[in-house]
Structure 1
Amino acid sequence: MTEQPARPTSRDVARAVGVSQATVSLVLGGKWPGRVSERTAGLVRDAAHALGYRPNLAARSLRLGTTRTALLVVPALTNEFFARVYTGAAEVAAAHGFGVVLYPSPAGTGPARDPFASARTALDGVIASSMATDALDAISGADGTDLPLVMLDSDPAAPGAAARVNLDIADGMRQVTEHLLGLGHRRLLHLASAVASWTFDVRARALAETVRGVPGATVRTASALLDTGAARQAVEHALAAPGPRPTALICDDDILAAGACKAVRRLGLRVPEDISVTGFDDLTLATALEPELTTVRLPAEQVGERGMTALLTVLDGRRPETGDLPVSLVVRESTAPPAPA
């Protein structure tokens, strides 16, 4: 029988770099900032990779009383945005010897059931995206033994979170609204999400505030669930209503915008010649549409990265980074000046 080569140990990594095993543990455990130089940390990571060293997470968990596992709760697994959030979180977690369990809230916004016999014995912390804090009571607990909770894209005034990671959603809506107003549009239709959520409330307020200071500008509102069929029906109904037809549709996300574009075509109209359409998120769908969609790009991977980093920082007893992540307007072919009256 062929003898298996010995598995590399932290002592092997330490010997290769010329540092102590304690230094190796600090670096590979993600606790080196302020204790080990960046150069040494890089050398340790390189040596561990070259040797094929992997920490014994089971032994470490028993020793430290931790599982090195985080739960990421999202409204849906079918939305590309949340898949990208997971990608960002998982990359940071892997670099620190953590795993991430992805779990969808059954109803989209909560309440989320505990996917374990007891999350507090299976997890070190929870990251929740675009959900109300009180939807997570079954997981994070409300009896004084709460898991650290990091909220993504959530109301900064809501209690219960150890850290928050927010996008500058209001600025995104201001950018897209100012783009349409700058093109000369004054009759706007807001296709709002029918899902009750802080992030969609922020979009509605920012839109109303931006339009308020522009003479002659008006906004009507229609709402639909986050589904292209529901969006198409809502826009068809809104465009058939009495009164002057809107010249631009501002949609709360790209899925709604796709349904809006279908509605415009079904009514024998053209995008953008007759009606401009905008989205929000910059999903892959935005460039699959014809014409391609003007939308607001949200850095989803960065949201996940910042969220996982915040959780690790809290677990280490330090203060996480603050400040909203910037978003950007992406102008494509679905918007143009309104047709002459």
Structure 2
Amino acid sequence: MTAKPGKITQREIARIAGVSQTTVSMVLNDREGSNVRIPEATRARVKEAIERSTYVADPAARRLAGLDNQIIGVFTYEPALSPESMDFYGPLLNGIERGAETLGCDLLFFTSSPVEDGKRKLFHRKTRLRLADGCILLGQEMDGADLERLVDERFPFVAVGRRDETAARVPYVGIDYAAPTVGLIDRAVELGHERAVYVHRGRDTPTARDRRGAVESPAADRLVRTTLAADEDLTAVAGTVRAAGATLVLAEDAFLAEDVVHALRTEGLDVPDGVSVAALAEVRGHRIGGRALTGFHVRRGQVATEALALLQQLIMTAPEEWDTLDTQRLLSADLEAGETVVERRPA
């Protein structure tokens, strides 16, 4: 089989390092039996050549050779298993685990590359991407260059969440936040709310832009909106609410909503009877003063299942046919009525 233009192969690595393909294969697979010793100088040359080219095995070629590993990779740009992250990543990881079990595949977490400035690098020299037949990418922020490179190299992968970091056609399964946001605003208007403040974290991620775009869209014009980018100090929230004459605060996520409620109550505002509060994110399990927080139910387990199904479809389809597949999918979030957006009462 001839290599595709631009594809780095074991033959090319062998040429760069001045060794045989067999030696390259042994280094790639960490095979060093008792009867075969690879000199450290030779191993170092091969590793240097790999680092220079960041070798990624061609999954299609591996399948044709009967070498598919039945391994699905999982790469997280941010730490996913910390207590702070598990509220978001837990349902996704559980869904991925169940889906992989159904497919008869093992999961491989790519954790060897270090977290630097809060993010991992997919193409770090320690990341053994080639061991997997395909990969699920997780992260609020992803590297556009990584995504473009994966697309160019035709490596099977699916990103969780809508991606727009590159013009390349990135396969993804994400959540449509626009429709439920407009639905929540319509519900608030029906309850008599006329003015609202949207509090967000100031992030420039696809989902953050989707939420803010929905809040500011013409479809939400029935409600007068003011936006506020929050930092660690939320003392300005109460003043912004009072200045805007708002009776509703929309927060980007449930944890921010809880912090906003604390800030409002500290400044003497009654929540929810004086100021209603909702989150434009998953709210199940979040309560405000004993009341269920209003917001969305995001079926993250379904997102994981759909992402694995799409990845399996890519793995089993010839790369030249990928353009015929539906590789960008948005699932709907459900409106969770909760108890923190209440009917507006006359002053």
Mapped to 2, the partners of 1:289 and 1:122 lie a distance apart of 49
State the partner residue of 2:72. 69
Shift of 1:143: 9.8
The alignment partner of 2:193 has SS state of coil
Shift of 1:128: 1.9
Mapped to 1, the partners of 2:68 and 2:243 lie a distance apart of 63
Structure 2, unaligned runs of 5 or more = 1-61
Mapped to 1, the partners of 2:88 and 2:179 lie a distance apart of 19
* Deviation digits for residues 159-183 of structure 1 (CA, Å, limit 9, x no counterpart): 4455221211111211221121221
State the partner residue of 2:175. 167
Comparing 176-185 with 64-73, greater Cα deviation is found at: 64-73
State the partner residue of 1:330. 336
Give the letter aligned to residue 324 of structure 1.
L
* Deviation digits for residues 272-320 of structure 1 (CA, Å, limit 9, x no counterpart): 1110000133344424753220011110111111111111110000735
Shift of 1:335: 1.1
TM-score (norm 1): 0.69
Q: Tell me: CA distance 1:175–1:328, structure 2 relative to 1, closer, same or farther (3 Å).
A: same
Q: Tell me: CA distance 1:147–1:333, structure 2 relative to 1, closer, same or farther (3 Å).
A: same
Mapped to 2, the partners of 1:278 and 1:237 lie a distance apart of 18
* Deviation digits for residues 46-92 of structure 1 (CA, Å, limit 9, x no counterpart): xxxxxxxxxxxxxx999732332322425442331221111111111
Contact 1:313 1:320 in 2 (8 A): no
* Deviation digits for residues 208-263 of structure 1 (CA, Å, limit 9, x no counterpart): 1256532xx321111236xxxx3xx32x3132247243211001111111111111
Mapped to 2, the partners of 1:164 and 1:189 lie a distance apart of 31
How do 1:274-293 and structure 2 match up within 5 A? 274-287=274-287, 290-293=290-293
Mapped to 2, the partners of 1:191 and 1:334 lie a distance apart of 16
Give runs of ≥4 in structure 1 deviating > 6 Å: 60-63
Structure 2 residue 101 is the aligned partner of structure 1 residue 94:
yes
State the partner residue of 1:313. 313
Comparing 60-69 with 127-136, greater Cα deviation is found at: 60-69
The alignment partner of 2:345 has SS state of coil
Structure 2 residue 341 is the aligned partner of structure 1 residue 339:
no
What RMSD over aligned residues (CA atoms) do the two structures have, in Å? 3.2
Q: Tell me: CA distance 1:297–1:109, structure 2 relative to 1, closer, same or farther (3 Å).
A: farther
Give the letter aligned to residue 291 of structure 2.
P
Mapped to 1, the partners of 2:186 and 2:296 lie a distance apart of 12
Mapped to 2, the partners of 1:157 and 1:120 lie a distance apart of 21
Mapped to 1, the partners of 2:291 and 2:236 lie a distance apart of 23
Identity of aligned residues (%): 17
State the partner residue of 1:223. 229
Structure 1, unaligned runs of 5 or more = 1-59
Mapped to 1, the partners of 2:309 and 2:175 lie a distance apart of 16
Give the letter aligned to residue 240 of structure 1.
G
TM-score (norm 2): 0.68
Mapped to 2, the partners of 1:213 and 1:240 lie a distance apart of 23
2:210 to 202, 205, 208: 202
Give the letter aligned to residue 65 of structure 1.
L
Q: Tell me: CA distance 1:245–1:162, structure 2 relative to 1, closer, same or farther (3 Å).
A: closer
Figure out how many residues of one structure are paired with residues of the other and give that number: 272
How do 1:1-341 and structure 2 match up within 5 A? 64-67=66-69, 68-73=71-76, 75-77=78-80, 78-79=84-85, 80-102=87-109, 106=115, 110=119, 112-114=121-123, 117-132=126-141, 134-135=143-144, 137=146, 141=149, 145-155=153-163, 158-161=166-169, 163-210=171-218, 213-214=221-222, 217-224=223-230, 230=232, 233-234=233-234, 236-241=235-240, 243-287=243-287, 290-317=290-317, 319=325, 323-341=329-347
